[in-house]
């Protein structure tokens, strides 16, 4: 039986002001991917979808994912930070994540999506702040 939370992803946060992505490696996550293809008269379209589950703990009133020292900030707070590289966020429609560790890569979303599977735009985020604190991120 497969253990849960044994996947790793790299999160790419997009900053519009600098037109730059900030990367965060998040280990110990659960990534459930459904690789699909949709056919049209003209082409074949990638129609992959995923559910990403990230457990976190609260330390000094900050949300921290297991295996990273970076703290989570909500999108509006992250957007106004001076040192964005020290934090991460989830911005629907702007950010994306990739299965695996890609901190040394300087590729954009289109290049990564065209070269490999396991690349997903953040579509929606739910934050469960109960006893099992975690985010559920739907990716396309």
β-pair type (96-99, 119-128):
antiparallel
Residue 2 lies in a domain: no
Residue 130 lies in a domain: yes
3-state secondary structure of 35: coil
Mean of all residue pLDDT scores within the chain = 89
Name the band, by pLDDT with cuts 50, 70 and 90, for residue 116: confident
Residue 1 lies in a domain: no
Give me 110's structure tokens.
């289109």
First-to-last alpha carbon distance for the chain, in angstroms, is 27
- What burial class does residue 107 get, using C-beta atoms within 10 Å of its C-beta: 0-12 exposed, 13-18 middle, 19+ buried? middle
Residue 90 lies in a domain: yes
Total of domains in the chain: 1
**Which of 89, 104, 92 is CA-nearest to residue 54?**
89
- Quick one: pLDDT at residue 15? 97
- pLDDT at 47 exceeding the cut of 70: no
pTM: 0.88
Give residue 133's domain range: 7-38+46-139
- In angstroms, the CA 140 to CA 103 distance is 21
- pLDDT at 115 exceeding the cut of 70: yes
Convert the pLDDT of each residue in 4-40 to its tens digit. 899 999 999 999 999 999 999 999 999 998 765 555 6
Strand partners, 7: 29
Least confident of 36-45, 66-75, 84-93, 117-126: 36-45
Name the band, by pLDDT with cuts 50, 70 and 90, for residue 82: very high
Residue 93 lies in a domain: yes
């Amino acid at each position: 039986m497969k253990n849960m939370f044994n996947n790793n992803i790299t999160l790419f946060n997009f900053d519009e002001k600098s037109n730059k992505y900030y990367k965060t490696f998040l280990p110990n996550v659960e990534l459930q991917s459904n690789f699909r293809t949709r056919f049209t008269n003209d082409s074949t379209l990638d129609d992959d979808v995923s559910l990403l589950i990230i457990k976190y703990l609260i330390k000094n009133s900050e949300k921290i994912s297991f295996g990273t020292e970076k703290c989570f900030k909500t999108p509006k707070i992250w957007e106004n930070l001076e040192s964005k590289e020290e934090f991460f966020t989830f911005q629907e429609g702007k950010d994306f994540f990739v299965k695996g560790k890609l901190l040394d890569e300087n590729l954009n979303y289109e290049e990564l999506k065209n070269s490999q599977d396991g690349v997903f735009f953040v579509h929606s985020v739910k934050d469960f702040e109960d006893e099992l604190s975690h985010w559920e991120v739907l990716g396309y």
